[in-house]
Chain A
Amino acid sequence: MKRKILLFVSLFFLLFSSFIASLILGGEKISLRCLLTVLSNPAGENPISTIVWRIRLPRSLLALMVGAGLATCGCVFQGILRNPLAEPYTLGISGGAALGAVLGEIFFSHLLGYYSLPLTSFLGALFSIFLVYFFASQKKFNPTGLILSGVILSFLFSSFVLLIFALIRPERFHTIILWLMGDLSAAPTEIIRIVSFCIISGFVLLVFLSRKLDILTLGEEKATSLGVEPESGKKIFFLLASLIVSACVSSAGMIAFVGLIVPHFFRWITGTEHPTLLPAAFLGGAIFLLLADTCARTIIYPVEIPVGVITGIIGGIFFLIFFLKSKKWEIF
């Protein structure tokens, strides 16, 4: 219990400091004192105030939310699929979102403007959730059925996306290509608000149900004999987590590795009990993506690296070291 409290206190502290760091660092470095004066006066009209309130704060907030959402959903998908290598994109949500985004760019971008990308990719994600749900239901929602439906649809959708890229000149899709690599800069403030609301409320529900997730990882036979109906249980978790992932993807694109690495790391730190794991991964994912995004903005300024590339590189190396060094790594 003491260990848990210590863990969460330090996670909150880390989250707070990385949030501050993400506001201070960047092309224009802002001192801590300056940041405080700017933050205490939202209506300020100087350039620093604009940078903080209009650019950095929304972006940091989005990074925090998306990181938290993806990491939590990674845990949930690993749990219901009973597979430690599952991640938020395993079930084809990203493919559907990408196809939605591309079609939206062709047909609706002149109507919807800035909102085209988030809205159409969200619809695409919903479409793929619907299809995966339908196909997996045919197989009673067993893990293999779910993974297969997800992977098949994912391939199918990305092939369509590539087909469209091949047919229409690619310059038009510049924003979409950035988005495909993970892009936290594009989302309008209203979208960030809605996404934050989705992620937080989804997260609260998931934590509320998390003990059921523990039982589901024991397999269908044990789950049934412990009083959890496996099929309906998995459906609830699938739908909740998928909606969160859709919100993340539609606002920030495909940010790789957060949903795989953070859950792994915290399974190792906190154990695999979901009532502890989910909140820890939520905070950890937020910290991870905040730091990654700060790196992406600052490392080779003024060029901005897509945050998905950073998470991929940091994540991959981190994963490899962890995998080779740690003897307590008992997942594989």
Chain B
Amino acid sequence: MGNFLVADNLTCGYTEEVPHRHLPKREVIKNISLSLGEGEFIGMIGPNGAGKTTFLRVLTRILKPWKGKIFFQGKNLEKFSPKQLAKEIAFLPQNIEIPFPFSVETFILLGRYPYLDYFGRFNFQDEQQVKKMMELTDTVHLKDKKINTLSGGERQRVFLAQTLVQEPKLLLLDEPVAHLDIGHQIEILDLIKRLNQEKNLTVIAVFHDLNLASEYCDRLLLLNEGKIYKNGQPEEVLTYKNLEEVYKTVVIVSKNPLSSKPHVLLVPQWGKKCN
């Protein structure tokens, strides 16, 4: 707990597309209050539609909160200018479609936008920062390739590099390893964890894979129907009671023999006899 980021009684959601006609608003997150300290690695879990992505969108000001306030480093989030905020908080959305074939290096350079002058020119410092992050994410050899020719794992590393050159203090990741094979999942999350440990980068990541969340996160938020159902260490959150209640399916929780973190096993209901 700390006051690096404080969300106070946050409510938000989506209006239907046509304003001026008062169509029902769809409330997605409801009265969420939360505080976190610098350097924490927070995992957000919960069923589809629980409000995980919406919460990240509010933190990046893509959505405006309907009620409640967010304080980042003690300052109201609304008080930041767009570029100022982009230097503090970086966001990696889940699906990014790039309609035009940027080269990898140019694409990563665009992450420096909040630091550019009025003419949008890159200077030596920008290029140094990009070089550093390309080395870190192991994307140097992809430099001149087009973004749309990359494999899933390469793509995600490039996207990550773009968020890292923003030099953020808070990194928001929406399912950073969905659709990747287990090798790439570990590679990317190891990298993020390393930045978290070495550079004191605060991370909030949405996970569908409960076991990855359990291994990497210091703290988990279990969201259900727009509310925080449980907030605590993986051992407290990942219990069969909590998970069965929220996900409406049967699970067994055991332990990873090496890390002794909770490990969730799924139990198919198919072919079981009704008692």
Contacts and interface: CB of A to CB of B under 8 A. Distances in A.
B120 interface: yes
B99 to A, nearest CB: 5
Interface size, B (range): 35 or more
B120 A225 contact: no
A226 B168 CA distance: 11
A217 B149 contact: no
A210 B121 CA distance: 10
B98 A217 contact: yes
B195 interface: no
Interface stretch (A166-174, A244-252, A269-277): A269-277
Nearest to B115: A227
Interface in B82-104: 82-87, 89-91, 93, 96-103
Interface in B53-86: 57, 60-62, 81-86
B124 interface: no
Interface in B170-191: 172
A225 B83 CA distance: 9
A275 B93 contact: no
A225 B89 CA distance: 7
B140 to A, nearest CB: 19
A6 interface: no
B16 to A, nearest CB: 11
B267 to A, nearest CB: 36
B253 interface: no
B132 interface: no
Contacts of B146: 330
B113 A226 contact: yes
Interface of A: 78-79, 82-84, 138-139, 208, 210-212, 214-215, 217-222, 224-229, 267, 271-273, 275, 330-331
Interface of B: 17-20, 57, 60-62, 81-87, 89-91, 93, 96-103, 106, 110-111, 113-114, 116, 118-120, 146, 148-149, 163, 166, 172
29 contacts: A139-B17, A210-B120, A211-B116, A211-B120, A215-B113, A219-B93, A219-B96, A219-B98, A220-B62, A221-B57, A221-B62, A221-B96, A224-B62, A224-B82, A225-B60, A225-B91, A225-B93, A226-B111, A226-B114, A226-B166, A227-B85, A227-B87, A267-B100, A271-B102, A273-B102, A273-B106, A330-B101, A330-B146, A330-B148
Given A226-B166, A272-B101, A330-B146, 17 more contacts: A78-B100, A79-B100, A138-B19, A211-B119, A214-B110, A215-B110, A217-B99, A221-B57, A221-B96, A225-B60, A225-B93, A225-B163, A227-B83, A228-B113, A271-B102, A271-B106, A273-B102
